[in-house]
Structure 1
Amino acid sequence: MSRGGSGTLTQRVVWALTGTVALFVTALALLAYLTFDQMEDDLVNDILNTEMDRLVQHARVSDEFLPRRGPRVLGGSMRAWLQSDGQPPAGIPKELLGLENGMHLIEPGPYTWHVMVADTGGGKVYLLYDATENEERVHDFGLIVLGVGAICVVGAYALSRRVAAVAAGPLLDLTDRLSTWAPGSPDLAVTRDDEAGRLIEAFNRMQNQVDRSIAREREFAGNLSHEVRTPLAAIRSDSELMLLTQVLTPDQRQRLARIVDNVDDVVVCLESARAMARDQLRPPEPVDLAQCMADAWRGHEAQADLADLWLDNRIPEGHVLILDRYALLTVLRNLVRNAIEHAAPATLMASLTGDGALALRDDGKGIDEADLPFLFRRYFSGRLRDAGGLGRDETAHGLGLAIAKRVCDMQGWTLTVESSRMGPARGTCFLLRFKDESARV
């Protein structure tokens, strides 16, 4: 699409502003012209009224003030005639004859005359004021006003172009950035040949690219889960068979058990990743919370021993809820891993609150209050390190909590955190509240 089409947003803004100014200037110029013309007419009429009163008074006092045979010149623009015997006075224009008493405007050819007729009792007085020069001044004034208006319109056009460029500039910059970021052709046809049409086209291309990226992500998650599941099952089955032999040393048996636990951990991660990539929930199933907590801990038990973190599982046995087991395992494993990395040495206590929420509380060093609002953001710890905001003993937060929060949001659960660094409440507590549909069996 062409960028300078006649229907562009920039030109519409220019013509709208210029048209508004042109209408305003035209109305103002017309009003000024008409006002000036009316003022000229009113001034001439006032002069005629004043002069006629003076003439009538003099004519009633003296018959010699107004000549009987010709005009009396009253300045360069006024003349007066007296008609007393029924015959037209000498030199009076024929256009004046037959006029009734009062004020008259006559325009014979190129001239403009203001005429006033009055009766003195001894005759009729004709008073003429030649306003041709006045009308020329009014005409010149109109030309001046027209020229000033034209200058204003031209200035308004130039200013409108500047304003339109400033107004449409961010839209054009955004369109150019989107076009560079998402090249190609849009799937939807765009009929508008202006900035808005180009922006819609760029958004269509960007949406196509996002859709393709999401499709590739879902395909990758599905392929990975499918391809890895078979070798993981083989590793787990072989490890379990080896655990059944009697010739294993305690260290070998411990390592094989750890392999089984790590395989289970990978399976859980794959299931969660596939669910998040497809943005689809798995069918819920009965889950024993105490057993699920134990399974989550078992996958990290070796790391917990090394970090000196101990589990105090106080969740009652047989407390079963209907929910996604893999999702719950993903959340609990990430919370346990977070405690290993940031709370140890400490004791991690798992329990149920009075309203049915699952609480994981540790008595570690706690989290700084200023970091709590950002705790579930991805790569938060990396940003703190880059900014030099982490001290030697400062708590760092990475992907694990962000993944746990994402899974909770998908399931409709609520994950919150409270922490303190001093006093009897020292430590961190994560509260996981399930939605109402996760009814207890």
Structure 2
Amino acid sequence: MRSERMPQPLARRILLSFILLTSLVAGINAWAIITVLHEVEEDLVGEELRQDMAAVENVFLTEGRIPDLTGGSALYAPTLRPQKPLPRELETPHPGYQEVVTERVAWHVLEEEIDGHRFILVRNQDAFEAREKLFYKVVAGGVLLAIALAYLIGRLTVRRVIDPVIRLAAAVRTQGAARPLATAYGDDELGQLAQAFDQAFNELQAALERERLFTSDVSHELRTPLMIVSTSCELLAQGPLPDNSQRQIARIAKAGADMQALVETFLQLARVQTTRLAEGDGVSLEQIAAEQVAVWQPLIEVRGLSFVYRQEGTVSGRWHPTLLRVVLGNLLRNALHYTEQGEIRLCLDVDGFRVEDTGPGIAPEELGRIFEPFQRGRHARGEGLGLGLSLVRRVCAQAGWSVTAEALAAGGSCFRVRLRP
């Protein structure tokens, strides 16, 4: 499986850019200096050797003798000076200029043939090699010094460039839209970024306020007609009506109660910090689970399905009753909506609860969007709009819970709600 590379922090990327650019420039300069030095060495030493060889040729041809040389050069003439043995590195003829470097010697050599005799002019370059190695060390030290300076300059640049951005990010996280951000920055690029954040915050706050007012207003206005429907159902149920009418009235009353619960949920979602309960408030998971079992078990069994309720563990704590009721009720409704045969299971554990079914399951391509609004599975039935699971996710996010969905290996689906982080 291919792993995604984590992006490097911006400060580190800037610092690495400084170091890499300096290393590249310093390396090219060092290479150029060493190359020029080597070329100059060959030109100068080669020219000196040619001048010395010209003087030897002039003396030999005019005076018939081999002159003595000064300046650290040695002259070999194997056919004229047999008493001066030729080093084994020079035994093979090699006319012209060359460098001879072995583990034992380092020479500049110029070989020419004068009047049928080999003349070999040799200059030892040990001293020059020593100076050359020292020069290489100086060049390498200069490269390392340049990299160190690039690191220091990069750190200073990062501090001047990135630190204001970090402060702005911290202000966005902690301060938000509480007060304008742009007032703390000048009229530069960073100030423009702060102004953009302020504008985005203001637009987002206005949109959230409009949504909150719309939700609360609609929910408030629905309370009165729902109360009328509920009261009318109670009055009609007390009258002498046939069994068929009584059943229809019971269905209307249940639908009205469900709508009343949704209205209460919407009102709770529209309030700020609705899930913070005072000490001792709220209900346990077992209480809401027992209540929902009493409501949903008959509806499930009348469809010819089995209902299983298990307590595998106990999660300590007290929870908002309306929010917990909406989450559990919508998950059971969803399971009933998609299951045609088999069973539906409600299992409580130490983290929260899960709702399992033996329905068609969840296709892999649907897992990523199943909690999005207006998303219905490919096996959906009835006239649902695909808002139940979206509401479950919103409620869980508001309450600080988490909800996940997965397909079961044996078939069906599982929705897990964790009430604890």
**TM-score (normalised: structure 2):** 0.48
Structure with higher RCO (Cα < 8 A, 6+ apart): 1
**TM-score (normalised: structure 1):** 0.46
